[in-house]
A = this chain, B = another copy of it.
């Protein structure tokens, strides 16, 4: 899917600010989470596995968010109703994010876009991409806990193309590591100056 088809998806463009985390610092982070080339390869394998299942995965994830009022809240309008257009606009970028995560080309452009995604969850940038009138900031507290439901529900999809239990496990673990790294990067705008 080309970028123009996804409104607000600015990955790789000049609209994306520079990440405050350098590639060298990111390498140190990867060591701490045990992320290796083997993980990158398993993510890339998962790209092929998930290719034709992206919408089905998103149905499950959106179903989970829709089932918990404390999460759906962040997609609501001032009248308290969920903003369907907002959910739909984000969903298109979410689909692309699945591909980008699996592609595992974690270079400077990718790092910069992680900063942008963090800004979009934080009050600095939330709602501006889709020009919506919604809750100002996503509470930091929910960012990391969501890693569990997201990665556990991914597992059956990873298992659908006949890979061994061991390979499925490795793909899933690579997703967990990548998410711990990504949400850490996304957290930067939430952290007090000097404490990150």
Contacts and interface: CB of A to CB of B under 8 A. Distances in A.
Interface of A: 21, 25, 28-29, 31-34, 68, 70-71, 122-123, 137, 139-142, 144-149, 152, 173, 176-177, 180-181, 183-184, 187, 190-192, 194-196
Contacts of A25: 141
A46 B12 CA distance: 46
A141 B184 contact: yes
A196 B140 contact: yes
A25 B152 CA distance: 23
10 contacts: A32-B142, A32-B146, A137-B195, A140-B195, A145-B184, A148-B173, A152-B173, A190-B191, A190-B195, A191-B191
A33 B149 contact: yes
A17 B43 CA distance: 43
Contact of A70 (B28, B70, B192): B28
Contacts of A183: 144
Given A70-B31, A71-B32, A152-B34, A145 B192 contact: no
Given A32-B68, A187-B140, A195 B148 contact: no
B145 A33 contact: yes
